[in-house]
Chain A
């Protein structure tokens, strides 16, 4: 067991290191000049002082070779220092730490809605014996994946904030302001959950143990709860990392639509101002969240599925 944990932790750290490397390579080594991008932003008219360029290069360490730059940035990141924002001069780590709690609340609610809604849809679609109902239910997830998030958000705003003022249109205040963004964010996620679960449950319904249970007189509801769901949910757990990653990415659009502060809004403003240190920090944090969630799922797996540990002991 200790070996399993150690193996997973080392693997997760390696993925994170590689993600940092990839993001750094994209942002600093692609044929573009970060300093001229930065100067464009803090624009002082058309004239650029060469001495100022050199000073900026030195300040961001861009006068060093690529390897030194990379190692320097890596060392600082490991110590928790993600650099400073070009646009505001504030430390990147502080900006992200201030933005994350707001987005965490939104993400938690959206994930909850997606799992409950997607799970209910998949359960109903595989449990029902009406082919028509099943066809209708299974047609919904592709629709949920196809509608643009920004469009759903705007339509919800239009109907539920402007036409019928049930929810506030903008801002971070109160639970009510969380509902519409969370629903918007939950639709594509819930559709993904429903597709994966419906596939797993469909397979479980055709398994021999279900036939046996039905032959012994169990009702469909009992079979659904005790056999099908338990067997189908476990493999779907691996989806959690992807879902959390998608929530963070989706927050970029949703927080822009609903004018909320948070992780996604920070991404949007950093990209707009081409604030490279902030973008690097945000990508690394997103990758870290993905890696940690996957690690937790991996570690929880043997606890939830005794077959794994027993199989290992036998082997």
Chain B
């Protein structure tokens, strides 16, 4: 896994009572709230203020994706021409575009497509990558060599170029973009899964299961896969931010949804022609992407940490 982030001293190691860490920032409100929690939760990295904020952002965005109508009463597709290019204000939080459509409504309604594309991409990458990595780890030998050299080669082609090549063949559209981004990230998951399988296979309990007469398949399903799932899940969370970025970049380049349908990347692209006259057009939808990616990354690091320090 990544090396970054191990520099901080491990907080979970001082779990019982933990006077060492609670002594220093004694009186901030956040630390008082955290002390009210049960000990197990109190020291979980998810309860740190930054991670909680990130979690809130992600929850809001998921709500936008599920029930966009609850957050805005404006129509995302048909605008009011008289209101064209109105600056942000009480009536239009993000202002309006050149057709008088409310940009906040378009951002909120575009969330579903963008989030769904990101989830599809990360699911494709995790499923295909884990399958390849698991096979490589189990079978070993020549199969392992071939599959892992293949993964190395995919890593030699920059991700964006690889997904652009796939999009060239698949054609344009949100689903195509999602598949392309997913395929481009398969190698990362394959490598991680292979490493995890190799690690778990050597564990004592797997050896014990073999000795107890369990078949190969049952060892794989009951022991190896569940025990290697944690790090893969953590990587899924970490990758999510990068995938949102990649999907919106492809959509910005014009390979995503077709025009009237709003999508995060294409919203920013539409504002390109109005940079000089309407600063809000590209800036505010783009800021939403940045905040979401940042939050997803922060959450990924919080989820990934306990798995890393447990060993």
Interface residues of A (CB under 8 A from B): 15, 18-19, 21-23, 26-27, 30, 32, 37, 142-143, 145-151, 154-155, 157-158, 162, 195-196, 199, 202-203, 245-246, 248-250, 252-253, 256-257, 267-268, 270-272, 274-276, 279-280, 282-283, 286-287, 290-291
B169–A252 touching, CB < 8 Å: no
Q: What residues of A have a CB within 8 angstroms of the CB of B282 in the complex?
A: 151, 154-155, 158
A280 to B157, alpha carbons, bound, how many Å?
12
A-B Cβ contacts below 8 A, count = 150
B45 at the interface (CB under 8 A from A): no
Q: Which residue of A lies closest to B183 (CB)?
A: A26
Chain A residues with CB under 8 Å of B294's CB are: 142-143, 146-147
Inter-chain contact A271/B249, CB cutoff 8 Å: no
- Cβ–Cβ < 8 Å partners of B265 in chain A: 148, 150
Report if A282-B161 is in contact (Cβ < 8 Å); known contacts: A26-B169, A145-B297, A199-B4: yes
Q: Is the pair A32, B170 in contact by a Cβ cutoff of 8 Å? A: yes
B286 touches A30 (CB 8 A): no
CA distance A136 to B293 in the complex (A): 19
Q: Is the interface of B mostly helix, strand, loop or mixed?
A: helix
B268: Cβ under 8 A from any A Cβ:
yes
Given contacts A150-B252, A248-B161, contact A157 B275 (CB under 8 A): yes
Interface centre among B7, B170, B265, B289 (most CB of A within 10 A): B7
Q: List chain B residues, Cβ under 8 A from A158.
A: 275-276, 279, 282-283
Chain A positions within 8 Å of B164 at CB level: 252, 267, 271, 279
Residue of B whose beta carbon sits closest to that of A206: B7
Q: List 27 A-B contacts (CB under 8 A).
A: A22-B150, A22-B153, A26-B162, A32-B169, A32-B170, A142-B294, A142-B298, A143-B294, A146-B293, A147-B294, A148-B249, A149-B249, A150-B268, A151-B283, A151-B287, A199-B4, A202-B7, A203-B7, A248-B161, A252-B160, A257-B272, A268-B253, A271-B253, A279-B164, A279-B168, A280-B165, A286-B157
Chain B residues 257 to 293 lying within 8 A of chain A, measured CB to CB, are: 265, 268-269, 271-272, 275-276, 279, 282-283, 286-287, 289-290, 293
Q: How far is the CB of A82 from chain B (nearest CB, A)?
A: 14
Known A-B contacts A148-B245, A195-B4, A268-B253; the reply to A154 vs B286 at CB < 8 A is yes
Contacts of A283 in B (CB 8 A): 157, 161-162, 165
Q: How far is the CA of A286 from the CA of B290 in the complex (A)?
A: 27
In the bound assembly, the distance between CA atoms of A252 and B253 in angstroms comes to 9
Per the 8 Å Cβ criterion, residues 194-245 of B in contact with A are 241, 245
B6, B159, B165, most chain A CB atoms within 10 A: B165
Inter-chain contact B252/A253, CB cutoff 8 Å: yes
Q: A158-B279, A158-B283, A290-B156 are in contact. List 18 more A-B contacts (CB 8 A).
A: A19-B156, A22-B154, A23-B157, A23-B165, A145-B297, A146-B290, A148-B249, A148-B290, A154-B286, A155-B282, A199-B7, A246-B158, A249-B159, A252-B161, A253-B252, A256-B253, A282-B161, A286-B157
* Distance of A244 Cα from B245 Cα, bound (Å): 19
Cβ-defined contact, B161 with A286, below 8 A: yes
Docked complex Cα distance between A218 and B78 (Å): 69
The residue on B at minimum CB distance from A155 is B283
Distance in angstroms from B304 CB to nearest chain A CB is 13
Residues of B within 8 A of A (CB): 3-4, 6-7, 149-150, 152-154, 156-162, 164-171, 241, 245, 248-249, 252-255, 265, 268-269, 271-272, 275-276, 279, 282-283, 286-287, 289-290, 293-294, 297-298
Question: What residues of chain B lie closer than 8 Å to A146, measured between beta carbons?
Answer: 241, 245, 290, 293-294, 297
Contact B248 A148 (CB under 8 A): yes
User: A249, B158: Cβ atoms under 8 Å?
Assistant: yes
Query: Closest CB-CB distance, B229 to chain A, in whole Å?
Result: 26
CB distance from B284 to the nearest CB of A (A): 10
The closest CB in chain B to the CB of A30 belongs to B169
Chain A to chain B: the 6 pairs with minimum beta-carbon distance, closest first = A151-B286, A249-B158, A249-B160, A146-B294, A18-B153, A162-B276
* Min C-beta distance of B9 to chain A, whole Å: 11
Judging by beta carbons under 8 Å apart, are B275 and A154 in contact? yes
Q: Which of A30, A248, A257, A271 contacts B158 (CB 8 A)?
A: A248
**Which chain B residue lies CB-closest to A138?**
B7
Complex: A271 Cα to B157 Cα, angstroms? 16
Are A245's CB and B158's CB within 8 A?
yes
Shortest CB–CB separation between residue A289 and chain B, in angstroms?
10
| A9 → chain B closest CB, angstroms | 16
B171 partner residues in chain A, CB cutoff 8 A: 32, 274
With A158-B283, A283-B162 as known contacts, state yes or no: A148 contacts B268, CB within 8 Å: yes
Bound-state CA distance A221–B3 (Å) is 26
Contacting residues, chain B, for A250 (C-beta < 8 A): 160
CB distance from A237 to the nearest CB of B (A): 16
CA distance A147 to B242 in the complex (A): 10
- Residues of the B chain whose Cβ atoms lie less than 8 Å from the Cβ of A30: 166, 169-170
**Nearest-Cβ distance from residue A279 to partner chain B, whole angstroms:** 5
Determine if A267 and B149 form an interchain contact, defined as CB atoms under 8 angstroms apart: no
Q: What separation, in Å, do the CA atoms of A283 and B248 have in the docked complex?
A: 21
Chain A residues closer than 8 Å to B161, beta-carbon distance: 248-249, 252, 267, 282-283, 286
Residues of B within 8 A of A286 (CB): 157-158, 161
Give the chain A neighbours of B286 by CB distance below 8 A.
148, 150-151, 154-155
Q: Which residue of A lies closest to B248 (CB)?
A: A148
Which of B156, B167, B275 has most A Cβ within 10 Å? B156
> In the complex, A26→B184 CA distance in Å?
11
B249 close to A15 (CB less than 8 A): no
Q: Cα distance A95–B304 when bound, in Å? A: 45
